Structure 1
């Protein structure tokens, strides 16, 4: 391994044209030289070996005479899956433990080993199960893997999956989020040591995590779920209600003040949280839940909309109406959250024509207009109640031509301020009974869109990704649009070719709409006022306004994002990060808010970006940061 690395370093120092093809030839040549059929050199092992020597054997590393430029070039060459951090941050996805779900959707998988709607073969689910669903261990494992692939992990977006976040007890929510921050706050060696202690404790308690063992343990109950004899919730108690079997038994009732202390520590940590995402249902988005999410540090909310047809929602077991979806979207916007909606085509009762019209409504009507969309087709898995409707002929999967036609039309209908993040779920083809099994569905759709010859405006298609951009050629554009509660301004840095290098979401709320954010929680059975803001929030509590926020006459920055390769904190990278593009977006947003007559601008800052916004003149103010105009 060392011999191959030294050859690469020498080639880089000599200025040779070293690329992926050159590297593949080198790897094959070294393996042929072994004469015993073994693969002594592999690209995926070169970088971990290099990083280990650099960290653990500095004298040996110095003997290689690796200059700063060569070190950077070597990291670029050996980095695995560069798109993982091309959006500007390192994403870490974690799962909550299996838990009863208050929904009963006919298309939803019911794998008793997982939180409702997830399957054990999905990559993030496999990682969670190996870690006993412990949030600390999941973060540690993912950080280790990303580092081994050569990714910078100084800026982390945490994505918490697991069905309906709001169904979990608040004590579990605080503890789970606190453990995520605890893991990121620790130095690498202390995090690794803490993880080793936890793993040893779980193993000594005999808590299963082996896939085969868990499959055997759950098989009898799973068979009864698949046959319709038991629901997921009915099966949950006998399996996970037993404390000796329950995953992640480390849970403690972390107080709001303790969580706030972990937040403050992360403000100056080496690995900072620049985004925290949870997922829930629209009917559980209330003013009270929005305040709780902010106290947890949440900045983006994924909500399962699935459809904008009351009839389709009803026949699919979605116990909500389009009116509650519109209310949830309005509340999320007023409280500053980014909205990431799940939208499904080919549901029970849908048609290709109706699906196209349904999505166009999502993308054009003022009550909706999401920031991000997961747009994917319904597919059939054994544990879903939809299997009965497939057998009796009430539901059928779209043909590939129908499916691609619907998704291509949806892409073309997507406005420039919305990002289509995904087009498939990470469900294994072996779990799908019928429906799309193509993992490259998005590429097929993009080819159909290209053949149509119409311009694509959605964000993901325009991101500069790993290419970088000439900052001198960028221009700053504003895309205004109107919602039911605000005027929105989407500020974007674009290249002459229309690629997007960064953007800012500015929200100018209408004063009459703010009553919605201060309204009583509709889920209170006695009509009493919604609970107030959780304790432990950052900053002062002397703000005026309904329950502390939102405030009449004050604007909101909901997101600032600059694309390009992740640059380490306080350092300039190869892309567009740390070049002042974000600061310029914030200044322009403040200028436009002042021009529109607003007295101040709030920002829904992530915990790890608070220090950044303080440098831009924002001061801590309750659950947000505020800058007077």
Structure 2
């Protein structure tokens, strides 16, 4: 079979860089009188063992799994929104705040907002370009999820678990609805040992829809991280944009989430009505000096003018002047190099809204890369998690860790003590993995455990330059967290584990109780 011949040639080649692989493909195509095959076509006929050997050579968009997991975004159906924010666009056949032209929204529209089909489609896409999906992070997008009816939330998440559990179970990478679980709990149990496991579920919502009732429901759904839309630390700005909540409500939500073991990220916006350059910069100083905030992660968006929003009408009337790229770059450069602590990860700097739909304001869609280049040129550094991840450092600067140290950073947040425990090459600014430990008055939570590097499939012993998962770092981080917990006279450690990683904790002496993995120390 000619394609198998090509696969063998690529595998046996000593060099597997992009240029060498293209050369082999061209020679093969000429020899057989065929068009040059796409990488996805080669991977589609490769065996499981061959895919492992081909992945590094044929994988497209490797950045998608540099942080150690595959990401699957799932959009909820258009259902209105409890908010009336002036900057949010309203579009036909898209959830509030989306235009219908974002990649995730278009995927949802193609699949008629059927979450099962969306997941199946996305998993197939990832497989076709060489990405492993046995460890995936699910992001639920599309408005205020916890505001939606509970029956919808329950079925939505259950269908996502079913899609992961059943993907490829009858034919290679083909959807299958056989053996459908009766309940969400059943589907979660199946996912603990499934081929495609969900190791994290991220829910986007509002601070005023994140009380004790909603948090208990999030625990039942299997969520592990919550992204709260704060947008500004100034109540006068929140009132001006008709956000519908104040800063205190956000602080209350963060405390409740952290005390339940969740990871908490915040969405922030630059250039909102009533903001200045000084106030935007100070906003991030407040975020990390105020003990009632201190988020684990950030998504930072510049405020642009989009048709279908109230802000668009204000702009047309001359009541609002949006900030340009220069403003955004200057603010972000100051923020990233002065105020972001090493325990925070800046996850995004732009939204997925296409540039042609931004009527006024920012124009560049690659602001993050422009910003990083500028910071590098000026000899400055950002200390956020993403900028220090081993995979990012290798990809962009060719750096590999040399002297690795176990580090512990302690800080107060939301009435508790937080410990950011990490393995780092401090001299070269490289982060290999970390754990987040929270000590409350009566309990201790491991809120996060993550080892960075190119994603390694479960059971693999990858030895590439930065394929560093499964090298024992996670166990050492966990052991340090347990040690600190015991030193502080806590006799139990609770872990809000993703469903797909529960067995990892079981092997280390943890048992499931209610929504947590627990170990007596």
Give the TM-score of the pair, scaled to structure 2. 0.92
d(CA) in 1 for partners of 2:154, 2:11: 49
The alpha carbon displacement at 1:592 in A equals 0.5
The higher radius of gyration belongs to 1
Report the secondary structure of 2:391's partner residue: coil
Report the secondary structure of 1:188's partner residue: coil
d(CA) in 2 for partners of 1:137, 1:11: 33
Cα 1:71–1:90 shift into 2, 3 Å: closer
d(CA) in 1 for partners of 2:7, 2:370: 37
Cα 1:453–1:128 shift into 2, 3 Å: same
d(CA) in 2 for partners of 1:191, 1:393: 58
Residue 481 (structure 2) pairs with residue 481 (structure 1): no
d(CA) in 2 for partners of 1:196, 1:174: 21
The alpha carbon displacement at 1:196 in A equals 7.6
How do 1:206-285 residues align onto structure 2 when only pairs under 5 Å count?
Answer: 258-285=183-210
The alpha carbon displacement at 1:11 in A equals 6.1
Out of 473, 477, 480, which is 1:585 matched to?
477
Report the secondary structure of 1:465's partner residue: helix
Tell me the residue number matched to 2:70. 90
Tell me the residue number matched to 2:517. 625
Out of 272, 280, 283, which is 1:358 matched to?
283
Residue 444 (structure 2) pairs with residue 555 (structure 1): yes
Alignment deviations for residues 321-366 of structure 1 (CA, whole Å, 9 cap, x no partner): 1111111111111111111211000111111111000121112211
Q: Is the 8 A contact 2:451 2:468 kept in 1?
A: yes
The alpha carbon displacement at 1:14 in A equals 5.2
The alpha carbon displacement at 1:452 in A equals 4.0
Unaligned stretches of 5+ residues in structure 2? none
Q: Is the 8 A contact 1:96 1:160 kept in 2?
A: yes
Out of 47, 52, 57, which is 1:54 matched to?
47
d(CA) in 2 for partners of 1:390, 1:434: 8
d(CA) in 2 for partners of 1:97, 1:47: 30
Residue 35 (structure 2) pairs with residue 105 (structure 1): no
How do 1:154-173 residues align onto structure 2 when only pairs under 5 Å count?
Answer: 154-173=134-153
Question: How many residues matched?
Answer: 511
The alpha carbon displacement at 1:437 in A equals 2.7
Cα 1:33–1:386 shift into 2, 3 Å: farther
Residue 428 (structure 2) pairs with residue 503 (structure 1): no
Tell me the residue number matched to 1:320. 245
Tell me the residue number matched to 1:566. 455
Alignment deviations for residues 436-489 of structure 1 (CA, whole Å, 9 cap, x no partner): 232211011112322443332110100011649978842110111111311100
How do 1:183-222 residues align onto structure 2 when only pairs under 5 Å count?
Answer: 183-190=163-170, 195=175
d(CA) in 2 for partners of 1:472, 1:584: 18
Cα 1:463–1:193 shift into 2, 3 Å: closer
Give the TM-score of the pair, scaled to structure 1. 0.77
Tell me the residue number matched to 2:296. 371
The alpha carbon displacement at 1:313 in A equals 0.4
Tell me the residue number matched to 1:13. 12
Tell me the residue number matched to 2:493. 601
d(CA) in 2 for partners of 1:571, 1:116: 42
Q: Is the 8 A contact 1:562 1:581 kept in 2?
A: yes
Cα 1:309–1:71 shift into 2, 3 Å: closer
Tell me the residue number matched to 1:294. 219
Alignment deviations for residues 221-273 of structure 1 (CA, whole Å, 9 cap, x no partner): xxxxxxxxxxxxxxxxxxxxxxxxxxxxxxx9x9xx81111111111111111
Residue 237 (structure 2) pairs with residue 345 (structure 1): no
Report the secondary structure of 1:396's partner residue: coil
Tell me the residue number matched to 2:230. 305
Tell me the residue number matched to 2:386. 460
